[in-house]
Amino acid sequence: MTTTAAPVGSPEARGPGLRERFAQNVTLVLAARWALVLVATGVAFWNTLVAVANEMREQTIITYLPAVVVLVLYAAIGVSWRRGVERPIHDRQTDVIVGVVLLLIAITVKVLNLRYDDGYLVSHVDLLALWFFVLGCCCLVFGLRPVARYRWVWFLLLMIFPVPYRLEALLLRGGPMAAGLVMVAFGAVATGVAAARTRRRALAGAAMSGTGGLVGLLAVRFLAQDAPTWVYQTVPAVIAALVASAALYIERRREHTVSWRPLGRAKYPPAVSRVGRPGLVVVAAAAMMAFVPIPAYGEYPNPRIDGLDTRPPMVIPSGWVAGEYREYQWVSRLYGPGAVMGGQDLYQSRGSYEFDKFARPRKVVVNTIESSRPLTFEVYPTIFVYDLVGDRFSSLEKVALPHGVIGFLQTVVDDKSYLTYNRIVWEWNNGETTARVTIVSVDNHEADAPFPSPEPTVARNMNTFLTVLFRGNSVIADLEPQFKDRDLLVDCATDLINAQVDAIGDR
């Protein structure tokens, strides 16, 4: 008797395996690759995202970022829906080279971010590094040609770097309306990119979005004037862009009898069939960047003293004589609604040879800023309040003051006028509002000696920003500080602190 083995099916007769079925599902492939990019970005920039979340919780101007992401998505969707058939020409080696170079730039920029230890929250150079990182990941995962197809979308995404946005809003005199106006303009541009099947449609979309956004912004201004800044930044721009894009979409489908399916076609498979080793490069770069720190923030000593009156002017202590008092309302552009700054000239009631060789009474200037948002003092440090562009600064020296207050001494050297300023700064709060107090002295003891004048210098500070980025902190550093007025400033700070605390019981 002969036994015959059961026939074995040929490989061609078998159904596709799990990997093959996954590769054939375009939606799953795209979702998996975007998940890789987004998870890698979250790992690489976890500390940056935490810092941004903390700022948004404090309602600083960084609350514009969610609106930027939504508007960029609008633009990306519009580009996707009008994509035509491409030639299947792809150079994987070029994809990898460009992607790796962009990842190296991202790592370098995040490391350079450590140079902005005093201005980290205002510059957020790490968000620029995040942009380079996402762009590099997409080149590796999707290919250079598909990334280049969305070039205007990538250009729009650069808006996550906050320096240009802050500059534009502050040049428009700051405040919620200025912050919202910049976003309305951005929303108009994003709508134009989304609708740019032709130039006429792009201009029509931008005009519709811009007009609708302005109307919405005015509606918020008159109907909900006290709304948070994020409402001004988000609601008018996002809704206007959505309505304008939807109107043009409906008009296109009706006029040209195109399918009402969003794409109007089947989804194209990714140009890059397999990720493989480039995907491992993305994972390795993310793991490496996760260990790159960001500058410390939110650690400035800010003791609470219940009942403290933080609003300027300050109570004048004994031993000092009050001079001129000035008030600067424009600081509300930087430190939030209701913020105010007061400048007081104080003179010693009696001169001393300890502080002047002729025993002339010394003058100091006391500037006090009150705000209900203490984190904004780190978002906009002292350099944004005074005209100190081009000056050199020493490192901060900690000084213990009464009632648990910690002060910081610093020298500021003005090489143009050959003057050196000493200053001591501290912050304190009463549980509701915070005050930052700065006492300044100058090494010119004449009665007409110039002191730094408070004025917004955001635009001029951009030169300093670029100088530090490319040349380092040493170009603006005073490496050999001379605290000639240390005792004068510490005595004045001690007297002022005691006078304010003693006044609590008299209120």
Domain ranges of the chain: 18-289, 320-502
Q: Interior CA angle at 189 toward 125 and 105, to 5°? A: 25
CB atoms within 10 A of CB 28: 12
Helix (H) or strand (E) holding 441: strand 434-442
Position 261 scores a pLDDT of: 66
For residues 303 and 388, what is the distance between their CA atoms, to the nearest angstrom? 28
Measure CA 6 to chain center. Answer: 70
**Entry pTM:** 0.85
Position 166 scores a pLDDT of: 87
Contacts 24+ apart (CB under 8 A), 473-479: 473/115, 473/117, 476/391, 476/392, 476/393, 477/392, 477/393, 477/394, 477/395, 478/392, 478/393, 478/394, 478/411, 478/412, 478/413, 479/394
Question: Which ranges of the chain have pLDDT less than 70?
Answer: 1-24, 83-90, 255-268, 389-390, 457-479, 505-507
DSSP state of 453: P
For residues 493 and 300, what is the distance between their CA atoms, to the nearest angstrom? 17
Position 2 scores a pLDDT of: 43
Q: Which residues, 6+ apart, have CB-to-CB distance to 100 below 8 Å?
A: 136, 140, 281
